[in-house]
Amino acid sequence: MDELDLRILSLLQQNARLSYREIARELKVAVGTVYNRIKRMEEEGIIKGFAPLVDYEKLGFGLTAVIGVKAQGRKIVEIEREIARNDRVLIVYDITGEFDIVVVAKFKDRADMNRFVKWLLSLDGVEKTNTSVAMQVVKEDPRLKLTED
């Protein structure tokens, strides 16, 4: 990864629909260079895909929950994988502290969240959960600023 790679990624984060030609023009490099760099970053798993930023609330998912999960040590990885397969889940982190796993998920309503939490508690090895509901989404953006410009 060098500065050009970071600049390409920054442009793609702003608009993943940019063509190779548009990126090349903006960065004053050859189209082939842009193509090769993006292809390499995809192969290396740096770029995992291209997806739109979605306003989930406008799609009916107005409830965001952050859930701490305490799990039996030997089952943590298995539990994390099972949670990650759930369609409501955006984020699964293996963490330190009081809880072993933190989950961020979106729900249509309290009943939807309630079903999820009960499912979560039914997983073998889950000892307890602690659910916090977001009262307001202040910032929700997976893009990290990569360059100084």
Lowest mean per-residue pLDDT among 48-52, 86-90, 126-130: 48-52
Residue 146, in any domain of the structure = no
With 0.85 as the threshold, say if the pTM is over it.
Answer: yes
What is the predicted pLDDT for the residue at 148?
84
Mean pLDDT score, 109-116: 97
Alpha-carbon distance of 112 to 87, in angstroms, equals 12
Write the CATH number for 88: 3.30.70.920
Domain match, 67 and 112 both: yes
Percent of the chain with pLDDT over 70: 99
Domain that holds residue 24: 3-44
Instruction: Clarify whether residues 62 and 8 are in a common domain.
Output: no
- Percent of the chain topping pLDDT 90: 92
Would 140 be classed as within a structural domain?
no
Whether 61 maps to a domain, the answer reads: yes
Q: How many domains does the chain have?
A: 2
